[in-house]
Structure 1
Amino acid sequence: MTTDSATQVEIAHEFPALDTVRAIGAIAVLTTHAAFQTGSYLGSGAWGTFLARLDVGVAIFFVLSAFLLARPHLARAATGRPAPDLGSYGRKRVLRIAPAYVVTAVLALAVFPKNADEGPLDWLSTLLLLDIYTRDKLPHGLTHMWSLAVEVAFYVLLPLLMLVALGRGRRRILRPRRTLAVLATMAAVTVWWHLEGTPLLDPRVPGGTGLWLPGYLTWFAVGIGLALLHVRHQQGVGTVVERRLVELGRMPGTCWVLVAGLVLAVSTPLAGPVLFVAGTPSETLLKNVVYSIIGGLIVLSGVFADPQRGYGRLMSHPVCRHLGQISYGVFCLHLSIISLVLWSTDYRLFGGNGLEVWALTLVASIAAAEVLYRVVERPALRLGRTRSSSSSHTQAATAERDSTTSR
């Protein structure tokens, strides 16, 4: 790699459109849960199945997080710089995730009567995001937090993945083939987990093995792959396939047409039933793989969006970006708010009125998330930045600017 190509790689790079991508993921998850709670999955035919498949929002989150968190490692390796500081990385991850989650978990455990039997050990398990490993049923209002537990497991794994892919110390350089081998291994683990691992382990261990990290490594692998693609693009290098992917990312309309087609494809029986009956291992694997492609296409369109054209301007609009900034609060609170909407109105669980419940939940979730962001999340993020700026590891703090807003 020449010096010129190295200097083209920006260690801390802004991706304004990705804030809006995060909001899209959160709204998709809210929508699929509102549809389930109102009975729209089974009562609306093909439309109900489509609503069920909007759980693809979780795949968007995972691809996005992997992209934002892996890219500083890859960019630094491309320029011959040391890895981001692990202490700063861990502190920022905790301050980004924990405060809003703890508030959400305490409210759900304390307010909902269905959680009245939760004892001290249950509270501890929930607050530490261990429920998917210790019990089969998550607390009321917190059943969606399995995905946060998976993401936290990925946070822990990522430095090791980068160590294997890039090496360490002075030997740390960008190794595209080695990185791709790591990503292929992650995908192979997911395939094995769906076809062999979960059927083998689920009857023998507590928790739900289908909700553990190995079953979703493909989604994170796609995000890391996109980070590698972006870094190599900034270097001015790339294979024919990489150049075609960049061109695709610059055609957001095409990306979204492909996304729509893939969502319709998994809305067929090929991807298994929508609820109550577990899909076969091959059905869950197919759904997992298609979701990884959908998440990859949406994030790809955000990474390479031209900020001067219509799509880039829309995705970078301050209102859209702000929705992305508060979207973690929307994700955390929306299930509890659905329950509050049903409790405070004449609407009933599985009783229809899906559009009304969705609209009320969306408005209330955005309002509650705004309060959570201003009172809890933003002060915590400021604390993380203040501690980083006063630390001796200032270059690590700069390198991790991208990762501050993941999730």
Structure 2
Amino acid sequence: MKQHALDGRHMRGSELEDHRNPALDGLRAISICLVLATHLLPLGPKALHLNSTAGPMGMSLFFVLSGYLILSTLRSAPIPEFIVKRLARILPLAYLYILLVFILGGLSKQALPYHLGFVVNYRPDQMTPVTEHLWSLCVEVHFYVFVMLLAVGGRKAFVLVWPCCLAITAIRVMEGAYIDVPTHLRVDEILAGACIATLPMRRFRAFAAPLVIWVLAVGAWFGTSHPDSGWVQYLRPYAAAFLLAATLAQPPNRLTAVLSGRALRYIAAVSYALYVFHPLAAHGWWNDANVWQRYLLKRPLGFALTLAAAHISTFYWEAIWIQAAKRWGRSRRTGALQSVGRLENVAGE
């Protein structure tokens, strides 16, 4: 999902540098490409179980990025502004998509409240083939609520993401949940990213072999996402977080140049809309054909239409709400400054 940098006046230099690290756009683009590939393409050979591996890889990376960027933002932003901007970022497209599916007859009146209330990840019986993916938005919204409660206690309370992350993993171990969609069995992937946001990443940039460490992180990320890796899958949140930290620790090099490239930055910009819309190109008529027709004709056409819809949504529909939230935030800060000025004038008199 596309993140917006905060006013630099509210951030220390190192925080601003990490928060706006352009290489993270590359990771976000990679995450959405993996998710789209696992849902829309046959990744072979089948013996390697690549479809079953790419999905967990993409979602774990998406989640750790979200946790990192959300906590980095909330460390500097007033809680009301954070809430308004997050709602403006998530709700307009999510509700538009849910409404579209409902109108087309793909969602019952009984299932609608669970989708609108972002609790459908606890009611899989209410999911449909084109809304199953919305479980991830439920997990993310639940994380927003949790992290805002922490913010009430001040910045020092954010250190609690560490024990909370470990506690969720412990619950997964007790439940035998290598991978699942209920929040209490999945949110450690977001919490792991939030943990990275509490670290002074500048101190980790003195690694003697940062590229080697990054490659090792990719290997760990792949290994902990493979369905045949057994109990190692419990470590997937930490492997994805390791990859995030290894990326943040990179000095300027070819890797960061590739991750910051224009193409990946564009994919990252439209990634949220791509994620929301892509199931529409994988079901019904789009999936009703033989293998050659499906993957040589319908899938390329589906990709093209999904990308077009994502572009329009990102830069027109979503932009309206995001800009409105920004204007509200600026107006709120201006009003606060004016109030302080009036109080100072009264005190001076």
The normalised TM-score by structure 1 is 0.69
Q: For residues 54 and 334 of structure 1, what CA distance do their matches in structure 2 show?
A: 16
Residue 29 of structure 2, aligned match among 20, 23, 35: 23
User: Equivalent residues in 2 for 1:3-402 (5 A)?
Assistant: 8-10=13-15, 13-35=19-41, 40=42, 44-47=45-48, 49-55=49-55, 56-74=57-75, 76=76, 84-111=77-104, 115=106, 118-119=108-109, 121-163=110-152, 167-168=153-154, 174=156, 179=159, 182-196=161-175, 210-229=180-199, 232-234=200-202, 243=204, 246-247=205-206, 251-252=210-211, 254-260=213-219, 262-264=221-223, 266-267=225-226, 269-271=228-230, 283=231, 286-289=232-235, 291-306=236-251, 308-339=252-283, 342-343=286-287, 346-347=289-290, 359-392=300-333
Q: CA deviation at 1:16?
A: 1.4
Q: Secondary structure at the match of 1:140?
A: coil
Native 8 Å contact 2:28 2:61 kept in 1 = yes
C-alpha contact (below 8 Å) 1:194/1:215 kept by paired residues: no
Aligned AA for 2:317? V
User: Take 2:119 and 2:241, find their aligned partners in 1: how far apart are those partners?
Assistant: 28
**Alpha carbons 2:114, 2:126 under 8 Å: kept:** no
Matched residues, number: 325
Give the number of the structure with larger relative contact order, counting CA–CA contacts within 8 Å between residues 6 or more apart: 1
Query: CA–CA distance in 2 between the matches of 1:334 and 1:368?
Result: 10
- Structure 1: state its 5+ residue gaps: 1-5, 77-83, 199-208, 272-282, 397-407
AA in 2 matched with 1:332? V
CA contact (8 A) 2:89 2:322 kept: yes
Q: CA RMSD in A?
A: 3.4
The CA deviation at 1:376 is 1.0
How far, CA to CA, are the matches of 1:309 and 1:141 in structure 2?
Answer: 40
* Residue aligned with 2:332, SS: coil
* 8 A contact 1:249–1:302 mirrored in 2: no
Distance 1:256 1:89 in 2: 35
| Cα displacement (A) at 1:338 | 1.7
Q: Is the 8 A contact 2:286 2:302 kept in 1?
A: no
| Cα distance, 1:330 vs structure 2 | 0.6
Pair 45,318 (structure 1): closer, same or farther in 2 beyond 3 Å:
closer
TM-score, normalised relative to structure 2: 0.79
**Which secondary structure does the structure 2 equivalent of 1:139 belong to?**
coil
| Cα distance in 2, alignment partners of residues 85 and 265 from structure 1 | 36
Is the CA contact 2:118–2:138 (under 8 Å) kept in the aligned structure 1? yes
Percent identity over the alignment is 20
Between stretches 325-334 and 84-93, larger displacement belongs to 84-93
Over 3 Å counting, the alpha-carbon distance change for 1:294 and 1:46 in structure 2 is farther
Change (3 A) 1:149 1:90: same
Distance between the aligned counterparts of 2:65 and 2:166, measured in 1? Answer: 17
Change beyond 3 A, Cα 1:225–1:252 = farther
Q: Cα offset for 1:86?
A: 1.6
